[in-house]
Structure 1
């Protein structure tokens, strides 16, 4: 009995490890994109649209070219396109960035659904995972440690973004723009240009995150692919207190929550499956509630965000 329990526990932990890494990757890219955008003093709730459109574009381009990495690049460019529209519209007078974000989310998802109908059935080349666990000789562990390269790209981006904010003049300009627009203007900085570029770059990262959904996990294109991950990433950024490195840890936490349901199935637990699948949404609600009462999140928030004014 003890041996069975130990085996079940090991299987559960392995399944959660692999699931956390897989599920966290799109969260990571969208969160890093939103972190960059919010650091400049703007909120982009439209990244859900970037994520969905990026997934569709990546799948379509991979299908037609036979190159999944070309699909990843195309997904990023589609996110850049939506981010640039968002950034430009928000430069106009008396425009609310939250309202624009909601409109862009509807536009991005609607465009993806319209253009993506021919690609629901065809099979496109997928991104190959890096087999890091074959040395273990344990099939379940080897499968859990077959990690997509985009996961490592996301970690490298988080480290690079953290260094960028702390050690470069442009990083200082972005942070100053987000904390105090008058101070940035006194430095001779074009606030609108900085926010436009940050929003477009953030959209690019969200688009790349979408490519992971269609080209790796789950690895297909359909209209229910995202399940609100772009919106949950906004809560993730608040939880991470606008720090890129913390965004990685928060993404892994969300990924582990999303992996609970499949991990329980792996050990034969099927009761409450749908409740376990709701774990990321419950976690989002708890994070938003706790962040609203936390003095730390308010202290770390960029001062120019509309939610703190």
Structure 2
């Protein structure tokens, strides 16, 4: 008997490993979008920001030999995209959703244009923490080899949950998201708050892109995101704009995304590919379940254009 074969236990183990790997970009994009939407603005351009962040991180890592410089460069690029989006949305009668779609296409096209020379070169990968060395099974060791960004995302979710409720910036963000008139009455500039929130949200989304190109799958190509930036918007709605729920929902999305590879790992070759569509089916189900003309979304910021 092969001592390294763990049989059917390989399925939940593979789902766990896949949930951690696949969820990490969702964590950062959803937390960034939660910040933006808490200010009363929706940003559908995060798909373009995610892809441009992936390209920027990969290119800088190739040129400098440092994956962490790549992450920092991606954050700067994401913040820049957020500032552009936020600046345009300050003008009267400008629709957030339309601008977001335009920024998404701009980010995708710009990333494809600038990223052509970096498809072939190999970039150094982000480090991970081997938490499975206690086991003699290579499957367990691989499943518990967890990237540092996952832990940073978890810590960030906890911090944002606390900050939204217990800090002055968190209170300002919530006031602006709930009522522009109330914010102005308190002497707060809503446009400035939303501009900064959109920039911060873009910066975090770009970290998710850096993870994709510098760890999993760990390469740069034009189809790297598979719509994760748009799916994160549905994830934030499902999480009711709560950072901890965003983290948990990201794990759920990651687990559904790992179903296909998990089944394939134990020899299921008939129809397993249908499970690759599970994240998209889940996204559609969430959007349908949370849509109702008769009730408002609980926890939704009052100024969010999605809820008007």
Does the CA contact (< 8 Å) of 2:296 and 2:307 recur in 1?
A: no
Aligned match of 1:134: 133
Aligned match of 1:27: 26
Flag structure 2 segments of 5+ consecutive residues without an equivalent: none
**Which range moves more in the overlay, 16-25 or 264-273?**
264-273
> Which has the larger helix fraction?
1
The structural deviation recorded for 1:8 is 3.2
CA distance in 1, matches of 2:296, 2:37: 13
Does the CA contact (< 8 Å) of 1:260 and 1:277 recur in 2?
A: yes
Flag structure 1 segments of 5+ consecutive residues without an equivalent: 1-5
Aligned match of 2:300: 301
Q: Is the counterpart of residue 144 in structure 1 residue 155 in structure 2?
A: no
Show the 5 A alignment for 1:172-183: 172-183=171-182
Aligned match of 2:13: 14
CA distance in 1, matches of 2:241, 2:294: 14
CA distance in 1, matches of 2:260, 2:174: 39
**Aligned in 2, Cα 1:265/1:295: closer, same or farther, shift over 3 Å?**
farther
The structural deviation recorded for 1:9 is 2.5
Aligned match of 1:105: 104
Aligned match of 2:248: 249
The structural deviation recorded for 1:7 is 4.0
The structural deviation recorded for 1:276 is 0.8
Deviation per CA, 1:36-90: give whole Å up to 9, x if none: 0000000000000110000000000000100000001111111111001000000
The structural deviation recorded for 1:92 is 0.7
CA distance in 2, matches of 1:184, 1:241: 22
CA distance in 2, matches of 1:265, 1:45: 33
Deviation per CA, 1:203-236: give whole Å up to 9, x if none: 0000011000000000000001000000000000
Show the 5 A alignment for 1:1-309: 7-293=6-292, 298-309=297-308
Q: Secondary structure, in 3 states, of the residue corresponding to 2:264?
A: helix
CA distance in 2, matches of 1:259, 1:219: 17
Runs of 4+ in 1 over 4 A off after TM superposition: 294-297
Q: Secondary structure, in 3 states, of the residue corresponding to 1:298?
A: coil
Q: Secondary structure, in 3 states, of the residue corresponding to 2:94?
A: coil
Deviation per CA, 1:238-282: give whole Å up to 9, x if none: 000000000000000000000011111110112213211111000
CA distance in 2, matches of 1:137, 1:237: 39
Does the CA contact (< 8 Å) of 1:131 and 1:147 recur in 2?
A: yes
Q: Secondary structure, in 3 states, of the residue corresponding to 1:93?
A: coil
Paired residues, what number? 305
Superposed CA RMSD: 1.5
CA distance in 2, matches of 1:305, 1:169: 21
User: If the length of structure 1 is used for normalisation, what is the TM-score?
Assistant: 0.96
**Aligned in 2, Cα 1:287/1:297: closer, same or farther, shift over 3 Å?**
farther
User: If the length of structure 2 is used for normalisation, what is the TM-score?
Assistant: 0.97
CA distance in 1, matches of 2:58, 2:272: 29
**Which range moves more in the overlay, 269-278 or 42-51?**
269-278
Does the CA contact (< 8 Å) of 1:241 and 1:297 recur in 2?
A: no
CA distance in 1, matches of 2:22, 2:304: 28
